[in-house]
Structure 1
Amino acid sequence: MRLLWKYLDKVRWLRKRSAIPLLGVLVTCLLFLNLFIEDGYVLEEERRQLRETTIHQLNSERYVHTFRDISNFSGTINVTYRYLAGSPLPRKKYLTIGLSSVKRQRGNYLMETIKSIFDQSSYEELKEMVVVVHLADSDLAWCESLVQDISRKFAHHIIAGRLLVIHAPEEYYPSLDGLKRNYNDPEDRVRFRSKQNVDYAFLLNFCTNLSDFYMMLEDDVRCAKNFLTAMKKVVASREGSYWVTLEFSKLGYIGKLYHAKDLPRLAHFLLMFYQEMPCDWLLIHFRGLLAQKDVIRFKPSLFQHIGYYSSYKGSENKLKDDDFEEDSFDIPDNPPASLQTNINVFEKYDATKAYSNVDEYFWGKAPSTGDFFLVVFDRPAKVSRIKVATGSEDRQNDVLRHGALEVGEKVVGTKRGKQCASYITLGEFRGGNIEARDVDRRIAFDVACVRIVATAGQKEWLIIRSVNHHRTLLSCFLGKRHKRTAYPVKNE
């Protein structure tokens, strides 16, 4: 019996001893199994999230090829376009003008817009531009009907390679259903603005290699006369300075100028965020991401909105650009110059702000007798007309009440900086304004300096809105209309 109990005890001990490693193995297996299961859940969750994100961004397998291209922002998007009229010429032009158009419930302004582009341009200007119209509607019958009208009325421009009409097939578009409803927009509004972003992206993509610069217009605008020449002068005046977008209208997606080399990035950008916000808002972000902090907008505007009915549901749209001028003759052509004044400058509104037609201005505190605002040309220039207007629509008291306009010759250096050795008075200000004509006939020298002098003191401050002139014409618009803003209280 004792032997039996010893045997049983030994068996129990062996069973316990063997159970320990067995239990360890079992625990290890369970841990691995648990990790495997958890990892599987994590992996599956990541896959699910990725799948949802992909569906959320693309909403269609047909769009995958487009987003693969986004890894290369400098490359164009692989879209096969239909040529409805015309074909690109091998020679690069100076400017491409892009229009995207869809069928409207009420009104159609496309033909009028195309006509304005061509009618307001000289033959020399037409040789430097190409107009690309993207008919972005899925109604092919409407597209074909409109193409027939365009071909009849603008046949010579199509033959000359100045007008192209294209269509991006519907299969390249992402699904426009179930999009994010940002800003509480209704679904149809989100669908409209999201499709519009894609329409513009495909238009930009097509125009990438056609020219040096690209101008975006909407399909319901009127152009200023010789707008291309005016625009070229502005571009030349910005040579050497960095810019992403130059704006020639303050409305929407009208009159926005880009370097053609930036079009692929802009096209990809619009595609990536097509459902987030309207295109004109996206453009602000694009400009900022490329390190252009401030708006660079020129006046007078070169393009005016003429559409009365919107392309969205035919709703009324009465927006007008009050800075538009049909005749762009006075667009700036400023030669290099230095500016100085002894008027007490308020904050950042320094004298240089007045020497362009960008939406900036000089603002100085109350001038005293003898105070001046001086422009010194780097090289003397022939001047035929000088026009000066002070104050603004919002600050009508900030005008030069007593002053004279002078021109000078022979630049000399002084302790205060460059000045002219002698001056001739062209006239006195009346009501804050003066216009001197035929200056080159009234004086016997090329103008080296233009000086505005206060002939009496005043309590009111002085706004000099801008200085705009041509190489043979100096037009100083000091105190043109500007947007209403908050003004500080002055201690008189």
Structure 2
Amino acid sequence: MCKKKLFLVIIAFILPILLIFYHGTIDFSLISEWTKRLAELESNLEHYKSMYRIKQEDVIILSSFLGLLTNISINNTYFENLSSDTQHVIKNISNKLTAPSSVRLPSIQQSFLPHLIQDTDALRPAYLLSKGRKDVSIVLGIPSVKRIKQSYLISTLDNLLTNMNEEEQNETLIVVFIAETDFEYVQLVAKEIEIRFSHYVACGLIEILSPSPSYYPSWKNLKKTLNDPVERVKWRSKQNLDFAYMMAYSQSKGTFYVQLEDDILAKTGFITIIKNFALEKTVKKIPWFVLDFCQLGFIGKLFKSTDLSYLITYFQMFYNDQPVDWLLEHLIYTKICNWDKAMKACKAEKSKLWVHYKPSLFQHIGTTSSLKGKIQKLKDKQFGKINNFYPHSNLAAYVKTNIATYKSYTLEKAYKGDKTGNFEHPSDILDSNTTVEVAPLFSKNMTQNGGKNSDNFIVIGRFNKFGIAEGTIDKNIGLIKELRLHIHVDSENWIILSEVMIVGTQR
């Protein structure tokens, strides 16, 4: 059936090209578009074949259970009440499974993660928020863990969504994997995401899940490897299992999978760039295993979903032994390198399977690692610089503040858009202790829901925990002579007011 469909697709692809030549002109842009579409169909077909094989494995597993059930109840009344044809099928399956010549291959659970056998729900998510989106082009996997000082997750999601247009969002799935077993914390983070990105959760673009506590082994039984401290061994071992879980969940969702982290920035149009680069390799029949869109760690690594099984198995086998990015290196080395040749030849061969895209599409922004005491100031030099603000022209105004400024980061520059912004400190925001207030040009004896202050300022909004204030101004207020952000109590954090943009109503 699949081959027949592919044959029809090829015919559909060739006919427009023949028509183009028949009319005497060559539309190369149309040829390029059809070539890309054919490559996309080939990639999708490969993905569907992989999913079909997984379903076949499910049938085999079901058959084995059916065989066990038959052995137990072969003489039961229930079995005798089945039709003769059904009894014949069950006996045939049972005989094949129990034949002396049958070979039983070891499973991951038996050999490497035996603790999973103890709980039948070990692989069932403890928390899952999903609208069932599937058959997308690209799945973005974002693992997130609790950090001692500050979280970058919300700002990372905001950045990714901002840098995708509607078409890109429709062919993408963002999987947020909260890799914590504290269910109260998981619910808290999930609720923040659901509130902040309600539209994207509702349409299925963002999914949230967390693992069952029984998915993880007892960390007390870990072997100390690489002469690392016990805490570091636990940290990297857990990361390996987190990646394996997330990849296993995402494998059936889309054609390609991109591994990200919860403290990154992306460039505008990154989804289209990634997809076109992958399809370009498919069109040219260039074999690859990793397409790398960031030079740091495991950030921005793209895989075919059909290849994720290699990674999942490898991470589970050696989760206690090596960091996850080292395991990827070892896997590629095993697949491509010839032990009889020099390392230089190995690197040349490895570069064919591990293809780097330049300039980088992702940048690491976090400095507080999820590993206690670890400071990371890693930056991808291939990423380049991005603007911290969008140029704008505000109304002429006199701006002032009684808050001390830091160096040259003045309120005037924020208002003008000269020099602002800092992505690395997402918690340095205005919160619910700050209100947005306006002073009418003409004093009137009126209030809004927020009330009227003694100095004739009217409260029109309040910031939330995401640093966002929303509100409407009663039209009866009339013209406004002053806008004020009023911080009512001392803040535990610095405040980074990155940009001020005033848009007036056309009169």
Tell me whether 1:243 sits opposite 2:296 in the alignment. no
In structure 1, the partner of 2:116 is 63
Equivalent position to 1:315, from 343, 360, 374: 374
CA distance in 1, matches of 2:383, 2:170: 25
Query: Larger radius of gyration, structure 1 or 2?
Result: 1
The answer to whether the aligner puts 1:296 opposite 2:355 as a matched pair is yes
Equivalent AA in structure 2 for residue 124 of structure 1: E
Of the three residues 305, 326, 329, the one matched with 1:260 is: 305
List runs of 5+ in structure 2 lacking aligned partners.
Answer: 1-107, 337-348, 388-507
Q: 1:288 to 1:105 in 2, by over 3 A?
A: same
- After TM superposition, list the pairs within 5 Å mapping 1:82-481 onto structure 2: 82-89=126-133, 91-239=134-282, 240-291=285-336, 293-294=350-351, 295-325=354-384
Judged with a 3 Å threshold, the aligned counterparts in structure 2 of structure 1 residues 55 and 223 are, in CA distance, closer, same or farther, namely closer
The AA in structure 2 aligned to 1:80 is: R
Structure 1 residues 230 and 100: alpha-carbon distance in aligned structure 2, compared to 1, 3 A threshold:
same
Q: Is the contact between residue 109 and residue 115 of structure 2 (CA under 8 Å) also seen in structure 1?
A: no
Match of 2:124 in 1: 80
> What amino acid maps onto 1:171 in structure 2?
S
Once residues 293 and 270 of structure 1 are traced to their aligned partners in structure 2, the CA distance between those partners, rounded to angstroms, is 19
1:79 is aligned with what amino acid? L
1:225 touches 1:327 (CA, 8 Å); kept in 2?
Answer: no
TM-score normalised to the size of structure 2? 0.49
Contact 2:122/2:214 (CA < 8 Å) preserved in 1?
no
Letter matched to residue 311 of structure 1: S
1:177 alignment partner, SS class: helix
Other-structure match for 1:21: none
The one-letter code of the counterpart of 2:170 is K
Does structure 1 retain, via aligned residues, the 8 Å contact 2:180–2:211?
A: no
Query: Which amino acid in the other structure matches residue 254 of structure 1?
Result: I
1:238 deviates by 1.3
Q: How far, CA to CA, are the matches of 1:98 and 1:126 in structure 2?
A: 15
User: Structure 1 residue 234: deviation in Å?
Assistant: 1.4
CA distance in 2, matches of 1:102, 1:160: 25
Structure 1 residues 283 and 55, CA, compared in 2 at 3 Å: closer, same or farther? closer
**Contact 1:213/1:260 (8 A) holds in 2:** yes
Amino acid at match of 2:126: R
Aligned length: 264
Residue ranges of structure 1 left out of the alignment (5+ in a row): 1-53, 69-76, 329-492
For 1:165 and 1:172, the matched residues in 2 are separated by 17
Equivalent residue number for residue 422 of structure 2: none
Q: Which amino acid aligns with 1:324?
A: F
CA distance in 2, matches of 1:120, 1:312: 29
Q: Which residue does 2:443 correspond to in 1? A: none
Distance 1:182 1:97, change over 3 A: same
2:482 equivalent in structure 1: none
CA contact (8 A) 1:105 1:314 kept: no
Q: TM-score, normalising length from structure 1? A: 0.51
Q: 1:246 to 1:163 in 2, by over 3 A?
A: same
Counterpart position of 1:480: none
Task: Find the residue that maps to 1:236 and give its secondary structure.
Answer: helix
Q: Check conservation: 1:106, 1:314, Cα contact below 8 A.
A: no
Letter in 2 for 1:63: L
